[in-house]
Amino acid sequence: MDESGDISFKPATSTHFIIACLTVDESKINKVKNTIKRSHAQLYDLGWPRRTEIKAAILYHLKYENEIPEEIRTKIIGSEFIHKVIQNIVRSCEIRVNAIVINKTNITSPSLRQAEYGIAYNYFSKELLIPIIMKATNCELIIDQRNKETHNKKHFNEYVKTEILSESLKQNIEIKCNIQHLESHKVHGLQAVDYFSWALNRFILYKDSYFYDVFKNNIDIFKKWYCN
């Protein structure tokens, strides 16, 4: 699971907040890993600095990224590279894409706008995750550890697990879900979902469907809150 934008309601923050979650069968996890490794190896072979994580946002604006060697900026077209990576993941890994998009400008509720960052983040994460987890029944949820800067991991885990228990009791099904917060530069699945959360951001904010069209038929859940 990864996000794009900012759920904060402070001035000068993004108008939309998007949470994306890729689901993949355990048997396909190595294919995700290998697809990302092969794709990123091309950049490393050209001299991509190891200290700079490979992310879709950086690739898209590659020609303006002075920290990236000129050889890469002249040989790689960032948008085409992103498009190809998404294509490869979709074709070889049988992933499903799930997302929730929140248009913050249309939220007028003071209780939500004034809530601490973690409360809103946890709530919308739950709205996306519970249907996925109920369908999977046995899953490993991996979240980018950078979120520790904006919400307490323990509170997130306890909140989601409480919601899982509540829903599983209602449906009378047994659910197993382990939650991990890991560093994205060490987890290929988190690196993969970055491409999709970024592509959804392009589609929602800029009506750019070039990347979205690659995986639109792989979408399971796409919730839109306060989006007219």
Q: So what's the pLDDT on residue 211?
A: 98
Q: How much is the pLDDT for 76? A: 95
Percent of the chain predicted with pLDDT > 70: 96
Per-residue pLDDT at 165: 97
Separation CA 228–CA 225 (nearest Å): 9
> Is the pLDDT confidence value at 148 over 60?
no
pLDDT band of 153, cuts 50, 70, 90: low
Instruction: List the domain range (segments joined by +) for residue 164.
Output: 2-225
Please tell me the predicted confidence (pLDDT) of residue 113: 81
Q: What is the CATH number of the domain that holds 14?
A: 3.30.420.10
Rounded Cα–Cα distance for residues 61 and 70 (Å): 13
Residue 152 binned pLDDT confidence (cut-offs 50, 70, 90): low
**What's the pLDDT at 155?**
86
pTM of the model: 0.93
For residue 10, pLDDT beyond 90: no
Q: What is the pLDDT of residues 16-74, one digit of tens each?
A: 999 999 999 999 999 999 999 999 999 999 999 999 999 999 999 999 999 999 999 99
The 10s digit of each residue's pLDDT in 103-117 is 988 888 888 888 777
**pLDDT band of 154, cuts 50, 70, 90:** low
**Number of structural domains, the chain?**
1
Query: In percent, how much of the chain has pLDDT > 90?
Result: 78
Tens of pLDDT, residues 190-221: 999 999 999 999 999 999 999 999 999 999 99
92, pLDDT greater than 70:
yes
